[in-house]
Structure 1
């Protein structure tokens, strides 16, 4: 396993497949959209800025991909936007082969989403929880469909803390603490979703992935810090490109050997960079009681019930 060299050349023919990629106009999402479209899929690039989406789409289309790319507006920090997106998607599509919950924000100052959620848990977890729930019927209806969520090495420092889940009024908030919690929540969600698929004999799987340490625009909140400037000359030793960072989630989305509940990441030192292989998340991510509590709380906060 450690010696595998899975690349985009291993992506099967995706003709006829419909794939949604959140945050598809930049970074890991952009690389994922590009790879899916190159191999024949119809890809919905879900992004906050349609203008930025058009620029990204034009760039990908220069390579004359075999598939199509459609841009649809989606702001995960606004549940009304999530509902509008899913309503429009259902008007135009009767299947969904892969939902890639890729979009995210990383270590911003304390802030709130439009619905009053702490911004990182609101964007990285609750927005995607709502999106997946509203698309659940289509996912379940599509044979062998997949839900893939992008987590992070940072989940290892995450703690759920249900008593102060959203750092009310900034109480106890640090950017990294909140980010770690949101990325642990991604894994708790995926593993619980997989358990529910299995319990209901649904022919769909839920899978997670992480990109290692990749150069994307998520870095924007630390690029001005003194330690980043000090370490930047050494960055090639621990940073990899967005194209390499996207490989774990691409593999999770399309490799026929992937199984529900799998978690993919780079095979290098501390999973920071390298080829995508199956990896293990921390024991806390497999805590079924935390997963159920998170699920119940997420349904309450988003007012979206999965009904299984």
Structure 2
């Protein structure tokens, strides 16, 4: 089978897409490709000024073989560290876009400064998982009303090192609790959420699907809080000798894009690079960790996420309730 590239992206005209964290890195490149293929793309970002500059860059981009229309790019303010902000953003998106074809839960942090989210959660878990869980629930009815819609959640290779003890819900990395592996745990939660969401969608008999993807190891701003030697190792200056292991954000975006648009994609699949250690290369279907596939843990994580966010995702009717 030929290697998949962005040249394989179908025409996206008529589709409305929301991409979180789309002002830089994987999110920006994902939004750019979809907009250049004709989708109306909403950049849902915490920093509105940066998002507007990103939207301007997409509109002003050089012509490409697949740039079929003038990109239609919008901006919405979304702070995943605040459930109040998530609710407000969802309301604005719903008001502006009655049709929603694709939600890409991309935004994330790794090793942020010490502190808590507005709601008292450990920031890595609160932003990477709980914020996206709430946003998905609040937009779910719009997605279910659109035939063939998708929810794509961007996770990480490091989900394999995550361990979430949902047997004791209060040990989740929220409030005063701390995980020894906050980033892998949050990425494991992304995977578990995708799998549980897909099972619920399938049981409801709807055409909406949930898919996961990871970018391998890519040069993005996600590494900005890592130790200096690691940042140098992952920086652009090392690209000529490290391309076999570390890829650009443009190529890293191929897996989320394929998960979003491949007509052959199935719910519950997981896309990632096919190269050495699955760190770089064209996207293919790959596998989750055994821990992620535990049905009981998935269900308990879902229940605890509803409790923590106050958003109950009712997949059967495509509704969400806020407590």
Query: What is the alpha-carbon distance in structure 2 between the residues aligned to residue 84 and residue 21 of structure 1?
Result: 16
Query: What is the alpha-carbon distance in structure 2 between the residues aligned to residue 79 and residue 111 of structure 1?
Result: 16
Query: What is the alpha-carbon distance in structure 1 between the residues aligned to residue 95 and residue 314 of structure 2?
Result: 22
Match of 1:202?
A: 206
Cα deviation, residue 170, structure 1: 5.3
2:16 and 2:100 in contact (8 A); partners too:
yes
1:1-308 alignment to 2 at 5 Å? 4-63=2-61, 66=69, 67-162=71-166, 163=168, 164-166=171-173, 168-169=175-176, 171=178, 173-174=179-180, 177-224=181-228, 226=229, 228-229=231-232, 233=238, 235-308=242-315
Cα deviation, residue 236, structure 1: 3.3
Query: What is the alpha-carbon distance in structure 2 between the residues aligned to residue 228 and residue 41 of structure 1?
Result: 34
Query: What is the alpha-carbon distance in structure 2 between the residues aligned to residue 90 and residue 158 of structure 1?
Result: 34
Query: What is the alpha-carbon distance in structure 2 between the residues aligned to residue 263 and residue 220 of structure 1?
Result: 26
Query: What is the alpha-carbon distance in structure 2 between the residues aligned to residue 168 and residue 130 of structure 1?
Result: 17
Query: What is the alpha-carbon distance in structure 2 between the residues aligned to residue 27 and residue 77 of structure 1?
Result: 19
1:110 and 1:170 in contact (8 A); partners too:
no
Query: What is the alpha-carbon distance in structure 2 between the residues aligned to residue 52 and residue 227 of structure 1?
Result: 25
RMSD over equivalenced CA pairs, Å: 1.6
Query: What is the alpha-carbon distance in structure 1 between the residues aligned to residue 233 and residue 284 of structure 2?
Result: 31
Deviations 1:126-159 (A, max 9, x none): 0000000000110110000000000000101000
Q: TM-score, normalised by structure 1?
A: 0.94
Cα deviation, residue 265, structure 1: 0.1
Cα deviation, residue 237, structure 1: 3.6
Cα deviation, residue 88, structure 1: 0.8
Compared CA separation, residues 88 and 188, structure 1 to 2 (3 A): same
Unaligned 5+ residue runs, structure 2? 316-323
Q: Secondary structure at the match of 1:306?
A: strand
Cα deviation, residue 223, structure 1: 4.8
Q: Secondary structure at the match of 1:90?
A: helix
Task: Determine which structure has the larger helix proportion and give its number.
Answer: 1
Aligned length in residues: 302
Q: TM-score, normalised by structure 2?
A: 0.90
Cα deviation, residue 96, structure 1: 0.8
Query: What is the alpha-carbon distance in structure 2 between the residues aligned to residue 287 and residue 247 of structure 1?
Result: 28
Cα deviation, residue 161, structure 1: 2.0
